Amino acid sequence: MKINTLDCGVSKVLVEDEFLRLLKKEEGKLFRIALAVLGNEQDAWDSMQQTVEKAWAKRSTLRGGAAAFPAWIKRIVVNQSLNILKTRKRVTPIDPQEMTGIQEISEHAGRDISLVWDVVMDLGEEHRKVIVLRYLGDLTLNEIARDLGISLGTVKSRLNTAHTRMRQKLQDDNLKGAN
């Protein structure tokens, strides 16, 4: 597949049609990440708008062409969402079943997702952030550390604590449900 680019000396810059085509493929994923981090649709749309503006302005920094675009644009949406959080000082992720773009979910799977999401919501903000960034943002531990401005060890510790608390809560709920 030929990528439409303009030769600007050292780097090749995506042209508008190619940029929009690549963006359209990632749009749903990007919105779900922003929504999970920010907790409401308006903030998520703000993040999306800022992401597109920044990505367009910085498209000359994209290395690796179309293959690198999904990871590059995810990084931008995560950073923009975190910036919005910093300025507004709030995090309230919503139930994933309420997110746009989620296709029909079987009743059983829907209950499982709802149960897990309830457990995630019970976590403190610092643990919820690492879970959302790791599993919805699909970020590496190093990327999470960099984006949150904390050490890699702190990310690992928070993720481990979050997993332990979630596991315990789910086991407790299963025991309650069995009685």
User: Last residue of a domain, which of 88, 116, 131?
Assistant: 88
Question: How confident is residue 178, by pLDDT bands cut at 50, 70 and 90?
Answer: low
Instruction: Report the domain count for the chain.
Output: 2
Q: What pLDDT score does 9 carry?
A: 39
Residue 1 scores a pLDDT above 90: no
Rounded Cα distance between 144 and 66, Å, is 23
Q: What is the DSSP letter of 58?
A: T
Question: How confident is residue 102, by pLDDT bands cut at 50, 70 and 90?
Answer: very low
Report whether 26 contacts 72 (CB < 8 A): no
- Picking from 11-20, 75-84, 155-164, which range would have the lowest pLDDT averaged per residue? 11-20
CATH of the domain at 149: 1.10.10.10
CATH of the domain at 27: 1.10.1740.10
> Can you spell out the DSSP letters for 87-126?
HHT---PPPGGGSTT-----HHHHHHHHHHHHHHHHS-HH
Q: Which residue has the higher pLDDT, 106 or 28?
A: 28
Residue 154 makes CB contacts below 8 A (sequence gap 6+) with 145
Q: Domain of 123? A: 106-178
The arithmetic mean of pLDDT across residues 39-54, rounded, is 91
